[in-house]
Amino acid sequence: MTYDPTQPTPVDVIRAMARDTANVAEEEILQDEEYIAVLEQFGASWAIGAATDTAPFYRASAELLRQVATAIEQDPSSISAPKDGSIGYGNRTQTLRDKAKAMDAKADALDAAAESDIPIVSMFSVIVPGPTW
């Protein structure tokens, strides 16, 4: 992993949202290559300085947050030890899924805004003979 909050790439931005920032390969929830593959699948760049306010980035973020939630859910949902108490992870996955929904909503909003900027061309044209100047 190459998580660096001082020079964040789109991968770092998503890792921060997912709290997948250990920088220790054995503790990563997803590998960098998995983040990069999903970003590319959605048409988003993963390079330093790449935009993180685009619909493709938000869609890729949502998918990756869901993948992280699923990976966490496949592990035990809580850990307990006699006299030491317990730790539960159920709320964390719900938070990740809520963030994913928010990313989907941002992407939908950007797509809708982009569609409203498309000029509407009339289906009817008037043909005027001769020069039109």
- The model's pLDDT over 19-56, given as tens digits with 9 standing for 90+, comes to 998 888 888 899 999 999 999 999 999 988 888 999 99
- The domain segmentation of the chain, as residue ranges, is 10-116
CA 24, CA 2: separation in Å to the nearest integer?
9
Q: What is the pTM of this model?
A: 0.76
| More confident: 21 or 5 | 21
Confidence of residue 79 (pLDDT cuts 50, 70, 90): low
**CB atoms closer than 10 angstroms to residue 108:** 13
Tell the burial category of 80 from Cβ atoms under 10 Å away from its Cβ (0-12, 13-18, 19+). exposed
Confidence of residue 4 (pLDDT cuts 50, 70, 90): confident
Q: Which residues pair with 88 in a beta bridge?
A: 78
